[in-house]
Chains A and B, each alone.
Chain A
Amino acid sequence: MKYAHWLLACVLLGLGLSLSGCGTASYQIIRPIENPTAAPDFSLIDQHGAEFHLAEQRGKIVILFFGFTACPDVCPLALGLSAQARKQLGADGDKVQIAFVTVDPERDNPATIDRYVSLFDSTILGLNGETAAVEAVKKEYGVHAQRRELPDSALQYTIDHTAGLYIIDQQGRWFAMANHDVDPTLLATDLKTMLQYIAVE
Chain B
Amino acid sequence: MKRLILAVLLLVLAACGSATTPTTVLNSSNSAANTLGSLTIDGSFARPAFAAATLMQTPTMATTPVSPTMGGGMGGGTMMGSNSAAYMTIRNTGAADSLIAAATDVAGKVELHTVTADGEVMKMEQVEKIEVPANGEAVLKPGGFHIMLLEIKQDLKVGDTLDLTLTFEKAGKITVKVPVQMPSAQ
Q: Once the chains bind, are A185 and B23 in contact (CB under 8 Å)?
A: yes
CB distance from A136 to the nearest CB of B (A): 13
Among B76-84, B88-96, B159-167, B168-176, the one that faces the other chain is: B76-84
Chain A, residues 96-120, CB within 8 Å of chain B (1/0): the string is 0000000001111111111110011
Q: Which residues of A contact B (CB under 8 A)?
A: 3, 6-7, 10-11, 13-14, 17-18, 21-22, 26, 28, 45, 47, 49, 69-74, 76-77, 79-81, 83-84, 105-116, 119-120, 128-131, 144, 146, 148, 150, 152-155, 158, 160-164, 180-186, 189
User: Which of B55, B64, B109, B142 contacts A181, CB < 8 Å?
Assistant: B142
B185 within 8 A of A: yes
Given A70-B83, A189-B20; A128-B12 close (CB under 8 Å): no
Given A73-B143, A119-B49, A184-B25; A110-B66 close (CB under 8 Å): yes
B15 within 8 A of A: yes
Given A14-B11, A73-B113; A105-B70 close (CB under 8 Å): yes
Q: Once the chains bind, are B126 and A152 in contact (CB under 8 Å)?
A: yes
- Enumerate chain B residues within 8 angstroms of A150, measured Cβ to Cβ: 126
Q: Once the chains bind, are A73 and B120 in contact (CB under 8 Å)?
A: no
Q: Once the chains bind, are A115 and B82 in contact (CB under 8 Å)?
A: yes
